[in-house]
């Protein structure tokens, strides 16, 4: 009776199916995590990430780990400016010197996005309607942040591919830069000549 469920009288058919599923899963995981990257030898790409509102403590942490200069003095001065309505976008910012840029990752996809090459910090930019007119205002304890990185990637017709994921201008990602984790927008992608 048991011979009826065995393949060639040797192995159980259900055991064979389980074994095939395990081998296929192992092959898939091996290709996904251990396979070579298709960005080796690919062109260098500069990516700019921007957020209009990031908590000052996150910006401080980012600067502590990634930057060669302190920005806490700028943030203290910025507190004075936060409560005023800005006339358009404020062009007063501090450009932070990056020592040895911290590593940057797409936290959701677990893909490395190069190293930080530049950080800019300014007053946060919140849009409000005051007396029927749109105005830009600063928000206390928040900063505007721009981070740039350089990474190798494959150029596509409508974006770039890094680590098997496509990134486009306008995408929002959860970026991990050093110990800081930021929900941020990709605002520029350019190929380095």
pLDDT, tens only, 101-123: 788 899 999 999 988 888 888 88
Q: Give the dihedral sign, CA 122/124/130/133.
A: positive
pLDDT band at 87 (very low <50, low <70, confident <90, very high): very low
pLDDT, tens only, 42-69: 899 999 999 999 888 888 777 776 665 5
Q: 16-20, 60-64, 147-151 — which is least confidently predicted?
A: 60-64
Q: Which helix (H) or strand (E) holds 31?
A: helix 13-34
DSSP of 35-89: SPPTTTTPPEEEEEEEEEEEEHHHHHHHHHHHBSS--HHHHHHHHHHTTSEESSS
- Give how far Cα 48 sits from Cα of 13, 36, 37, 114, 160, Å: 54, 26, 22, 12, 13
39 φ/ψ angles, rounded to the nearest 5 degrees: -100, 0
User: What is the residue extent of each domain of the chain?
Assistant: 2-34, 44-191
Considering 6-15, 75-84, 153-162, 166-175, the range whose residues carry the highest mean pLDDT is 166-175
Nearest to 190 by CA among 137, 165, 153: 153
pLDDT band at 90 (very low <50, low <70, confident <90, very high): very low
Residue 121: per-residue pLDDT: 83
Q: What percent of the chain has pLDDT over 70?
A: 72
Residue 131: per-residue pLDDT: 86
Residue 126: per-residue pLDDT: 79
Residue 71: per-residue pLDDT: 52
* 102, two tokens: 């911290």
- Give how far Cα 105 sits from Cα of 2, 50, 175, 178, Å: 54, 15, 6, 9
Residue 173: per-residue pLDDT: 95
The answer, yes or no, to whether residue 34 has pLDDT greater than 80, is no
Instruction: Quote the CA–CA distance of 139 and 54 in Å, as a whole number.
Output: 10
Mean predicted confidence (pLDDT) in 8-37: 78
């Amino acid at each position: 009776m048991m011979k009826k469920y065995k393949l060639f009288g040797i192995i159980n058919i259900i055991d064979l199916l389980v074994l095939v599923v395990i081998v296929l899963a192992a092959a898939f995981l091996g290709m996904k995590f251990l396979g070579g990257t298709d960005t080796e030898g690919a062109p260098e790409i500069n990516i700019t990430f921007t957020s209009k509102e990031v908590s000052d403590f996150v910006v401080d942490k980012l600067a502590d780990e990634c930057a060669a200069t302190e920005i806490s003095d700028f943030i203290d001065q910025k507190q004075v400016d936060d409560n005023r309505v800005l006339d358009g976008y404020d062009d007063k910012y501090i450009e932070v010197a990056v020592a040895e840029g911290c590593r940057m990752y797409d936290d959701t996809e677990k893909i490395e996005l190069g190293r930080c090459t530049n950080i800019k910090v300014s007053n946060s930019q919140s849009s409000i309607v005051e007396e029927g007119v749109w105005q830009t205002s600063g928000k206390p304890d928040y900063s505007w942040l721009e981070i740039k990185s350089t990474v190798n990637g494959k150029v596509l017709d409508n974006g770039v591919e890094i680590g098997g994921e496509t990134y486009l201008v306008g995408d929002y990602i959860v970026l991990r830069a050093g110990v800081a984790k930021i929900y941020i927008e990709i605002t520029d992608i350019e190929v380095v000549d």
